[in-house]
Structure 1
Amino acid sequence: MVASGGELGWLTWPDEQGWEIAQQALNGSLLYNYFICNVGAGEQDNWLRTTFIQRHPTATRVFVEMRFVVRDCNSFGADSLTCKETFNLHTSEADADIGTSFRKGQFRKVATIAPDEISGVGDMQINTETRVVDNLSRKGFYLAFQDIGACVAIYSVRVYYKTCPATVKSLAAFPETVAGGENQALREVAGACVENAVSEDQPRIYCTVDGEWVVPVGQCQCRPGYEPKNDSCQECKPGFFKTSVSNEACEHCPKNTEPSSSGALSCPCLQGFYRAPNDPLTAACSAQMAVGKLQLSWSPPADTGGRTDITYNVVCDRCEGSVCQPCGEKVRYDPSNTDLKEISVIISELEPHLNYTFTVEARNGVSHLCIAKRSVALSNTKNLVNNKLVPEYRITDFTVKCSLQEKDEEKNKVTTYTVLVLEKNSVQIIDLSPSTVYLFKVQALSPEGNPGSYSMEQEFSTPAEEMFRFAQKSPPPIKSFIFLFSYSRKNSHTRQGPEDAYFSSPEQLKPLKTYVDPHTYEDPNTAVLKFASEIHPTHVSKQKVIGVGEFGEVYRGILKAPGRKEAAVAIKTLKPGYTEKQRQDFLSEASIMGQFCHQNIIRLEGVVTKFKHVMIVTEYMENGALDKYLRDHDGEMSSFQLVGMLRGIAAGMKYLSDMSYVHRDLAARNILVNSKLECKVSDFGLSRVLEDDPEGTYTTSGGKIPIRWTAPEAIAYRKFTSASDVWSFGIVMWEVMAFGERPYWDMSNHEVMKAINEAFRLPAPMDCPSAVYQLMLQCWLQDRSKRPRFQDIVSLLDKLLKSPDSLKAIADFDPRVSIRLPSTSGSDGSPFRSVSEWLESIKMSQYSENFSMAGIVSMEQVLQMKSEDIRNIGVRLPGHLKRIAYSILGLKDQTSTLSVFAV
């Protein structure tokens, strides 16, 4: 078969029974489209390639917007057994148009395209999808659409790239810039200050891949006489001035100055008025004053103590050098210096060449009882002094009085039984009796031990059974106090877990219930009704296909339930034509999820079961599966952040374990991540209940087992416990610290089982903290009884997070083992034939063009490269840089040169 060109210049392969061009009436217009519909002809492999698309020299990332229609496979009846409802997008780069030459091997897959809306008979639902083609480096590229057995018509394809528009930021002008790609997520751009603005350093800013400006560096400032307005520097108006380089607004000319002209740097004094040599140009001009006389004024205190009988005393000290003494009777005050009711006083008979300090003391009718001195210092440097009085409380200790209010037939009797003296502002009181009223009040003590007045008495009643916490703030002037009261029944064995502090609702503080296996119900529909809320389908709207599950598509959507705030949700659907058993199996996961309530377990919103289209609705996790998220952000997160994510997963698994529940399929692909980077355990399709016995197991007679994540006893005997979940958690830890690397790399399942039985364990990932790797090894102990429990894991991870320095010690790393690469050859044992083959083997093919453009075209040249050489050819991400560097080290097989590749 050969390829042929269509009327629009696009190329089809194979030539026969493949894509065809047609016209379709749509909204009164005739539109061209390419279509194919071989749904009943078995497996299909039909290609449609565009013409050569020239690339902008600096555009490494383009967006492909497709408008298309996909026919519903159910509309074909019995002919739809091999029907698909998706197609694939591919791309191939070239430096010149290669005409009708076509080879599938030239193309790399970009994405699988799934429709949001599927068309039935007689209707046509136009879908619009956009995908990113990244890491482009050659002069142009082709796009190709691969049909694998769908009924699809493509109406338009729009290819574009994003730019950061020309802009002015912080008075610096930046030109329009093409947005970068995956290898240059932030493109640095230099700018220039606008007219009449200056900067010490050249201003810079970064253009993101989404065409947005971020992180401006360096700030331009307006010259003297100019102020910032509307992204420019404009002259100060007449009557205004500015003395320095800054982005402050121009100021009014101060008092006793002449009006300024436009763009003035200062305002000169009026005749007869002066500035002292040390006065700033912003100061008002002054006339000479009568020697030895001044006026002091002040503001009333902000807190008057709830009284109106406020009076003031003025105290004067005069200083010669460092020696100060009271002013004495020489200084005159008008009207007086004591019991002043006004907030100003005239002071005269001051001597020249002396420094005077005046202190104003505010008092009220109860000041003689107060243990705190309230004062403010005023100096004679200005004629008018305006200050607020700020109280200076000196409280060092507190007493807390606790009283018991007992019921009496005639009256309530209050018995004081404890008084606590504290050096801190909180106390925990334990061993309280249930169903009892307690009274608390707090008193402040001065450093000399002088007591203040007690706060208002606070009444608190203990409940009959439950543990509780109570917070109460005391009134001013005492600082806020938090009292933590706890009550537990004697001889009780209930214990708080280390993550109790993360719970917020009273329900979560109650003891965990035991999980109930929905498969034990005679009618599985009863379990669904018991554990899941029914949602009316009109309250759910589907927006976009985000995945394909075992039973049907998964959508992002919106839940608009009555009385609740609109929320984003994920919607799992059951494909039409299902059997009753498929329906029950599909809904069993909802029966499981509906029993869980924890911040690290995916939350079930409800189900739709009473209508034709069966759905499971859960909370929407914006960042999707953890393994893919980590691969997309390789090297961009710190060990502290990664351990924090692991802590969340462990807390969720502890919750499940406490409910006597085993997951059986714990893996990074089954952990979902939201926009806050919170991790939540999901996918309960393989999960089963444990027996009441703590050592109980669930034994399966068959079925698929995820070998790479499963404990050896579970593989050998099909027995699953919480201890086997701990083994799986250790593998998840390795995935997280390796940024989504596949456990055991390209080893087969048989090789994995053989290696584990021979005591092989995954080596430490790059830059993995030693404490974290040691915990992995504990999770992988052969004897399951010696593995840590999830409560132990949560506790250890909490300690690591509270002491970040404990993450600085890095586990030993051997690149020849840890990256799992052939040291000198390809997968077939022969030496690598090309640089691109080597890069493909370490999953770094996106840098092939970087090596080629740098003239690195042979493996001999690769072996001579150092870390700096790798940076210079454009490898910037730390994770990618290390992977390539360590791979070269493995090729050299010289561990002594490890320091050469320190990055």
Structure 2
Amino acid sequence: MRATGGELGWLTWPLDQGEKPGWEVTQRTLNGSQFYTYSVCNVGEREQDNWLRTTFIQRRPAASRVFVELQFIVRDCNSFDATSLTCKETFNLFTSESDADVGTTFRKGQFKKVATIAPDEITSKNELRINTETRVVENLSRKGFYLAFQDIGACVALLSTRVYYKTCPATVKSLASFPETVAGGENQALREVSGVCVDNAVSEKLPRIYCTVDGEWVVPVGQCQCKPGYEEVKDACQECQPGFFKAVASGDKCELCPANTQRLSSGVLFCPCMDGFYRAPTDPSTGPCSGLPSAPRDLVATTTQLSAGKLLLTWSPPEDTGGRIDITYSIECQRCEGIVCQPCGEKIRYEPASTGLTDTKVSVSELDAHLNYTFIVEAHSGVSLFASQATPQAYRPPSTSALTTSLHYTDKCQFVHGKWDIHLQMDFIFSFRKRNSNSRQGPEDTYFSSSEQLKPLKTYVDPHTYEDPNVAVLKFATEIHPSHITKQKVIGAGEFGEVYRGILKVPARKEVAVAIKTLKPGYTEKQRQDFLSEASIMGQFSHQNIIRLEGVVTKFKHAMIVTEYMENGALDRYLKDHDGEFPSFQLVGMLRGIAAGMKYLSDMSYVHRDLAARNILVNNTLECKVSDFGLSRVLEDNPEGTYTTSGGKIPIRWTAPEAIAYRKFTSASDVWSFGIVMWEVMAFGERPYWDMSNHEVMKAINEAFRLPAPMDCPSTVYQLMLQCWLQDRSKRPRFGDIVNLLDKLLRSPDSLKTIADFDPRISIRLPSTSGSDGSPFRSVSEWLESIKMSQYSENFTCAGVVTMDHVLQMKNEDIKNIGVRLPGHLKRIAYSILGLKDQTSTLSVFAV
């Protein structure tokens, strides 16, 4: 009333009080200030029942519990004369709920009592005492309510009535944003509230917190963490500054880029190596980069046992190790007659070995008399596989650092000053090596001509060659006790049973998240052996881009295969869910990881046979790993390196034509499949060849049709795809070549800026211009379904785009305005409309 300068319009009852009024507005002076009160003072009258009702108070839907704070004065009954025998010193508070304002209608029966209000201090004739009391009104559920005050014979002045509810204020805690929340009531002491991670933050579990009845936040659950490339700064996630990186989602700060890395961009997950520096496949992507080792020094040959044809070679370590400690050495022997040289052969013996040496000496024996020998000592490190990318120095071999020594050995013990007449030669033998490798090369074995592939460090063993498959499992996989495995939730279903996410906790090891493949009940012994054979295969691999086998459970009833857990699941589904969200540079980085994994398999003489984006798994740092070895087999030991099978299903869309036609699989056919994976990645999980049948795909391939470039695909990447799809398998690149090229593109991001030509009439398959029967689309929803954009049907309808004629009139801005925001989706719809506008020419393209 102080603010309005008048009455509040509260209702008094009874309406006609005659000479004995009930509640009425009075003006009082307190401390020199004028203020209004509602007061009543019929202390000398019997059976008083005077009511004062507020106006309608609307309730916020979530506020089921409100507080009523009263300021009032109650006169001491003893301050009246003896005639006031009916005087009271209390009054009552009532409430009544309603869904609408009932106006001046008043029925006492609709009100329920909240409390009897009694003063802590009463007012005498000479001293004014103001009381403040708060009462709670619980379990409100209708749109609003009234408060009412009942006088039963007291002398009361109501100074202030304050009605309020409590809320937990909007807040950000642990990078999770929580909205303002009304506090609960007596039936809900803690109200659970779900939050949302702030921009560029993620959480494995939904962030939650609890709001107490007093309006306080307690017990936050599910902490958000800044994404890779971001760090926490004042309740927000900001990009790592140039020169810093962060590889995983965590609460850590961005780290300074390690030694020999580029420090150009902001928001990076890792710092790429500077030119001339590399990371080994086993090095973490967050570690420093290393240079190539220089050549060994001071190579010296001395005799040990002349009669046995023995020689001791010693040398000094490289002057420059490239910053690595994993330096090893290898020895190669060439036997020369005149200008013709050839390998020394298996007769020559090396002690302790000819490769993998960590010491700087080796003993060579079984040398023949009267021949010239050339020994090449090479230094290797974990990054030597990248040597072909480095700038050649003089006649330095392309893949090693080496020193050579030539000597003439004779059993007549010719000495010069008491030692062998040994001529040290510091010129390297690059030209000789090149000529020699070409001499080994024939038209049918071009693909397998490199020494790296002819002599893999480790060769895959087919578990099917074991008479007892259980022996293969025990040889290549670690047995895990089932008590160390905890299943958490089903994440998929495999050929043999369900797949779970779980925890592996082995004594003395840190617990890790794992994927658990199970064998469904009722299996046959053959099904069990087939199930475990995949573990026998995986157990032979150790590479950061190959899914890691943790172990198996075979000695108990329920067999299991336990692998590392990949948080983002299959690559094809992950890309579909993030259509258009990644730049080409990041997609090429994913492809580089896949190619590195396939190079490792190829080097082990292993053919996958089912390489596809659905069989690539992605972890939370977007690292891609090859998985699913159900179809893969070992290369036979023959010149073509093929595997022939008499039956079985072949994934036509991903399989090379020679493998389809003759069921012959090689690493070259895996390269073809890798080209299809490249297309899937650059097209964000689009289905290869769209809705063409397998028969149509095979016919098109044989007629030289190749998948067109996806939208926004760099020209260099598309050209590599076309190289992978060459009809002549011997002309396709090797996986080592592919890794080298992708590394080159990643070191020079500008090489990805030129975009390959894109034809929407071909790149968006025929259904984007006509229905399934070849006729124009009958509805907008049918068209959207054909281009896999059905999720926008309601957007088109709400915007009034309800016919195909309306669709044809749309422009890019119109598509944005109806709510299509993802760049990939925007382009897909826009290009499809382009195809619709030229239906005749589209159909003619496919007719050709």
Please report the TM-score for the alignment, with normalisation by the length of structure 2: 0.50
Greater RCO (Cα-Cα under 8 Å, separation 6 or more): 2
**Greater Rg by CA:** 2
